[in-house]
Structures are given as C-alpha cells and as structure tokens.
Structure 1
C-alpha cells in the first residue's frame, strides 16, 4: 500500500548506534535456557515426545501457534502439554520462553524456578528471577540470581548493567560506578558503559562527572547518538546553561535526520521548561539496559529474541515508550496486527509519539478489514489537532487503496488546505489525489494534479509513469507520454510496472515487436501481476505467437484479476483479438 507512514525510526536509533561495530557478537549461538538451540529453532523443532492423546495434541497445537508467532496461544498449549508431562524439560523451556515473549512474567518466573532446579546457571531463567527480585526491591537477591547465570555475549552485558542499577536503586552509587568501570576494561563495548556511567551520575546528581561522561560518549559516537545528545543537553539546561543547551540541540538538528525527541526537547527549553533526565529511576536504567541489545538485534533482522528482551524491559518499566513502540513494530513485522494495536494502545496521550502510534493503530485496523474503525481513529486525531497533516494523508491513502475514491479525495483536499507553502515533499499528495481523481473519472482535474506533482518534483517515476500511461491509454500525446515513461524507466529500471507501461506504449502505437521485448522484461520483474501477463498475451497475439498469447491470458486469469477484466480475458481466450482490433487497454499496471 502507498501509506504515507509516519516515521517511528528515531526510537530504534536511541540505543542501536551504541552497539555499532560489533556485528556478529550478539548473533553467536545464544542459549536462553542452558544448552537450548537458537530460539527460532526452539519454537519450531520437534522434541522427543510420546503420543499419548491430549498431551501430544497440545504440543502440536503449541508448536503450530509458535510457528505463527501466536505467543499467547502457543504458551497456553505448551502449558497444557507440560501438565501432562511435567518432567519434559524441552516443553518446560519452550513454555517459559513463550510466556516471556507474551509478557507473562509471573508465569515465566514460576517456570524459571522449575528450570533452575535442573539447570542452575540458565541465563534467561536467572534473568527473569533477577528482574522479579529487582521489581520487588530485593536488590541483593536480584544480583545473586544474575551472578549465577552463565556468561554469554548478551547476558554478561545485561548482568553488569542491571547489577550497577541495582546498587544505584539502593543509593550505593560508588559501588554502582565501580561495577561499570570494572566491566568497561574487559569489553568490546566500552561506549555502552560510558553512557550508563553518564546516566548513573546524572541520576545521582553528580553533575560534573556526568557532564564529563556525556562528553566522552559524544566523542566516541561522533555526536550522532540521539539518547546521548538528549542526556547531555538536558543536563546542561538543568544546570542553568539553558542557552548552551538550546544551541547544542539546534546544532545537532541541523546535521541530523528529523529527530522528534530532540526537537521536543528544544521546544521545551524554548518554552521555559526544564527537560527531565533520560533516566528518572533505576527501573528505567534497567529497561534501557535491556532495550539496547533488543534494538541492535532488530537491526540484524531478528524478531523472537528482541521481543523477549523488550518484554523484559516493559516488565521492569511498563511506561518505557521506546520499548512499546519497538515491540509494536516487531509485531507488525510478524503480521500480528492485534498485538501491535494493543501495544500501541499503551502510548500515553502526552507522548510525542501518541499521534504516530494512533496512525499505526488505524493502519492495523485496516489490515484487519476494520476500515471504519480506522477512519474513526483518524477523525479523532484530526479533531484533537485540526492541523494533523499526517493523519489526513494517511487516511486518504487508506481510502484510496480501498477504492473509496470520493472519500480519499476529501481527505487529500483537507490535507492541502493546511499543507502550507509547496515544497518537493508534497509531490506524493498531488500524485495520490490525482490517482483518486482519475479513478473517479475526473480526468481534467487528475491531469492537473499530476502536472503539479511533476512541477514541484520532476523526477518521480510514479507520477511520470501514471501520467504517461494515462495519455497513451486515451490515445493522446503519444510522443510526450513515451518521453515521460522512458524517463520513469531510467529512474526505476527494476520496476516491472513501469516497464510494462513502456511496453504498452509501444503496443498502443502499433510497434508490437518492441512492445513484446519490454512486456517480457516486465513479466520477468513482476511475474505474478495479472495485468502485465495480460498485456504480454496481447503483444504475443499481434506478433503471431498465438499459443503463447493464450498461455499468458490463462496465467492472467489464474492470478485473480479485477472483476471487469475477467470477462474480457475469457473472451480473448475464446475468440482471440480479431474480434476487437482497436481494443482499449486494461487499467494501468500500478503498484
């Protein structure tokens, strides 16, 4: 879909940059439960189990749910299997991991107690028991659990950081700092410890030491890690160095991507408010320690293990927005739309990410075919903020993809009324409204929108292709249309839809040999598109390749084309193209 998705990527940048340069370290074989296999294999492999009716049925149901990443049902079924076979360690370990992945830490802790009876050094079991003790304020007991766990690339890092924050929670700041200092001497990740040292000194009110640590962390990260920038600027402002903090934030924003966190901090300072520290509690310090590896692993395209660490972070600090957004993003990657909706639902109204989270919630409702509920969310956002441009255009895109073109046009019209001075970024708004207008048989208005889109951003292949194809389809401006489409192909040579337009242009101009050459290329790029396959069939027919033409038409029919195309393709299969030598084109093949 052509959703103009509001970016949440800045959240992923909060900690990930800290871990750059250690690719592969966290991707070593990681055993969450003793010598267990990797977590993906653990959820999907087959343990030794005897078929004894309901036990085996529960196991199979749990395994299937786990393969679908339906953690809630998978955990339930494995727990049932465990009831029938309480000594089966593999099922016990799977049930434990699934409870963690589902955020059910009370149950996970109960299973962890059973695991450590047979595997005293189990990493994740000890982590869960340690975090449970930390939440209960039993900090010494938390450290005991963490110390018993086996060493490992992730576990050692997390253990050191959580241990330091457990001492901070007791007010033993010198001991906490000594833990960080000792760990930093034997690690390939010194910057992590420098950053947490800055956070800890800031949390303890040791401002001079914190300033020095922030400066060192900025030096190591080249001043481009958002969370370090936020912490340093915040401390400057709280020390009364408000103008210096504002300049620091402003300079960072000039050289960085759109960083919503820092922009919000700068607005807060400009309005006379003092920003809070990044870490406002020891629990938040622990949550950050767990979030960092999760963010790094997401960058390595892992899903299951990051979810476990993110759920652990939320167990310690349920208000940690960064973990909620990244969790929801991972749920979306697994097409767990309802879980993503639930996770986004915890983002508070006063968060700078509230609007983004609600927009993503609406998109997920639409993915569940609950489009009217999605529209209600958009309208609520717009009532809350009549200048919510992102809500308007995303609603328009959603309605357009649902072929509700009049409503889409209305949403785009509303967005244009608040868009302000036109800049190149507005090309997509004019393009999208142009498509909706064209599909509503309002061609003259659509043409003006496409031309306006190209006026403000001339090198957009989507607009070039759609306008050029539309002219060819109408039998007008062939030369200009082919020029636009050729330009689109140069800009996006690997886009089969655009190459199809070039081939169809040759076809409409009667140059069937060149048409076939381009249409064959388009089918290679987009083999599953019915329109492109149908176009190639038409081309084959006109160059005398009748058997291949009928094959392509049958292929097009098997790909479930639009209803209005089915009868036409069926008629061609029956009669060929001789019945209609001046046949009109199908709708353009557009992604």
Structure 2
C-alpha cells in the first residue's frame, strides 16, 4: 500500500470546483490490491426499500442539477441508513465537492469505520481532521498509515509537513510530528520532518539540532545540507558559509548545495567567489541541462546577463525539458538588455503551461510600448482565460496598457466592466480605486478600498491607498494616520508606505515627524514622488536649497513625473530648477 500524502493534501483543499467522479467512475477507482477490495460478504444485507431508493434518486438528481446541499444531506442520510462503505465514500466525495468539511468528516468517519483496512478512507479522514485543526483526532489515523508504509515510511515523513502546513497552530503541528516520529528515530527523514516543523514553530535551535541529526544519519543528503545551511544563515552568514564550504570539500559533486552556497555568496556581496562557483557548476556539468539552467539563473541574480543568455541557450541545446520556462526567462533577459523585438519573438515561443499567459501579456505590453496600442489590446482580448484569476489578469494587463496613455476614463470603464463579472476580485477593486482617484470619483475610491480591506484585511496597500487619498485631499486626517499606521504594521519595510506616513504627518502640521519618515523613505528608495514630498516639506521648513537639490536630482531621472512637476509649479511657479 502506498502512502499517498500528496493525494490527501489535494483532497483536503475542499474545493467545490473539484471534478466529482460519477457513480460508475467511483466504482472503478481505488486500489486494485486484494486488501482494498470490498468483499461482497462484508457488505451489509440491506434491502432496497422505497425510502432508500427515493433518497438515492433525490441525491443524484440534486447533484446533477447543482443543488449540492440537498445532495450532501441525502447521501449522508443514505450512508447512515445503509451502513454501506460505498455509499459512505460517495457521501464523502460529494461533501468535499460541495465544500462542506463537516459533512465530509461525518461521512468519512463512517467510511473508515465500515472499511477500516481502506487506505483511501483513512487518508481522507486524516486529511479532513488536519484541515479542521483536529490534530489529536488525526493522529491515530496517521499512525496507522505510517505503520502500513514499512520501507516507504521515510518518504511519507518527507511529505507529512506538506499535509500539516495548512494548520495554523505550528506548535501543535510540531508536537504531532514528534509524536508520530517516536517509532522511527533511526530514519534521517524523520529528523528532517521534525526540523522543518520546528522551524515553522519558531523553535530554531531545535530545527538546527534535528537537521544535524538527519545529516549524521545520512551525511551525503544534499537537501538536508541545503536546509542546514539556511538554518545556520539565520544566526550567522559566516557560519553558513563555513558549513557549505566544508560540505563541498567532502562532497564536491553536490550541485544543489553549491547552488545554495552561490546564492548565499551573491546575497553577501561576494561577487568574485560567486562567479567562481557558477563557473565551477558549468565546467563540471557541461552536459547537464538542469545545472546549466541553474547557473544561468544564478548569473541573472548578479546581473551577468551575457552568462545568463549563453547558459539558457545551451540548456535548450542540451534538451532541457521545460522549454517554455527557458524561453520565458530568456525573453526577460532580452527585455532587461533593451532588445524588445527579440523579447517579443521569444515570448511568442512560450506555447503552453503556467508561463504561457504571462508571456502573452508581456508580448502585448511590449507591442503597446512600440505604439501598437489597439493591436496589443486585441491580442489580450483573444487570449483564453481558464479561470477567474486569468480573466482578471488579462483585464489588469489591458488596464496597465491604457494607463500609460493616460486614458483614465477608459481604464475606469474597463475595470468597471470587469468587476461586474468578478465583483470581489481584490486586484480589480484596487485598480478601479486608483482609476477613480484619477477621475475625482472619490466615493468610488473609498467604497472599493473599504471593500478590499474587508475582503483582505492583511492587504497593506489597500490601507495605504485609502489613507494616502485622505491625506492628499486633507480630509479625515486622523483616520488617514490610523490607516497608514496599519499599513506600516503590515509592511514595515515598504518605502512607499513610509512616504505616506511622512506625508500624512506633514498634512497634519507635524513637520518634524513628517520629515523624519520622508527621509527614511527617500533613503530606502529615491523615487521622484517621494522626492516631491520630501522636497515640499523641506521647502516649507525653509530649507529651500536642500529641496531644490532633491528635486533637481529627481528631475534628471524622471523629467515628466506628474507629481514632481505639479509640486514644482505650485511651490516655485516653475517646472524647472534654477
């Protein structure tokens, strides 16, 4: 029996859009092994009475018509009445399809009671209980599943954290994995699983201790070495460097570790040593398409685009399987190196997969930048959208193209139409709010952003946009400050949000506080809009030469920035700096 944790994980998503097998399909699916067969003699001796037949017909009819609540109720009732494991399984599937975890738990509990040797039944109830946060109840089921794995129990533990990752109580997750691990302490995968759980539970010393135990049991295990380096890096980059260096001395062919080491070097600013590692990877693996691509991606992080381009082309020549990914990355390099025609041509070589739509969106954007606005819009409209997310992304891409032409009314109308089809889509709400701001439709702006905050209470940009709008118009300033402080709490390192905080303090007449935060924002990102705000506060405080210097520098980078030019015109009556 194979322990299909990943299958359980997918099942526990409880998505109503999942494909539900028909009765005939359900009968055909399942394990073919003898242990999974439901013997006819073990089935209940249940007479097909009129009430049972009626419930069955009502349930199936409701299911076909999309009346999922009725279908769930009838099938759960049938499972209780018949005590038939096949009906209990069907009731579980329908409940999952309907997105009703509580009915699914009830049905799956019956299923595992009626068919205790079924791995499918036990996996399903375990996943449901985990998804509902009932880890103690899930534990005996997981113990039995692990015990049935025998030689495969190590791999099962490697997948266990993926199943348990949905549980928000990370301390409880760690406790459960430690309990499940007790009989298997001689397996390196078990210590790896404990280490990961400890890391997410913020018990970093335990995470390091357990990962080192995993490596002690299996010293050449690359993935454990990579994770050990990352754990060490939290406390000391130098310790992580030393570990990677020593490990590679012992196991020089450990490419995954060398890639991790190279990334650490890039992050630490050690460009020469990082380049040496990239060259080592390419020299020692001249016929390995995956390593060649990885070396190219590392070179990208350093801005060595010539090396990147050469590596990507070589990966294609070596037969790298995911050509769509390579073409997409290659097109990005062409964009980065200002070769738009070649980028467009290469984006069109992405034919399928998850990068197809992003590639086509980039193609349309480049087409618009070349002046072919209508052709770009038509290209986007012809692209198929497989789901709401893709439909929204296409609308947002077209809005971005229009926004560059300052066609604010068209942008607003496009997003307005999109929200009629997808009324609760966060990105559409946010973009329409910005478009409404350009048109002076402040009630719409406020309505959309408040709705977005309700839908996504952790969206820092929604709080910031609403607070900044109030500050810019000099209205609701106490609420503006509260909103922007919330945005800072959610995203403390965002210079644009820091700029908003400085701006609202300035609008409230608190110039010193405003100047402090604007200086912080400008130091983090010398953006023209931040420069406009910082310069204005300096100007008002009397530091006019400092203000002019900041504006002059910003104008050199972006001479057409609207906010910067408006600030200059309003304060100096000019759009240039003397």
Q: TM-score range by the shorter chain?
A: 0.3 to 0.5
Q: Higher relative contact order by CA 8 Å / sep ≥ 6: 1 or 2?
A: 1
TM-score (norm 1): 0.45
TM-score (norm 2): 0.46
Pick the structure with more helix per residue.
Answer: 2
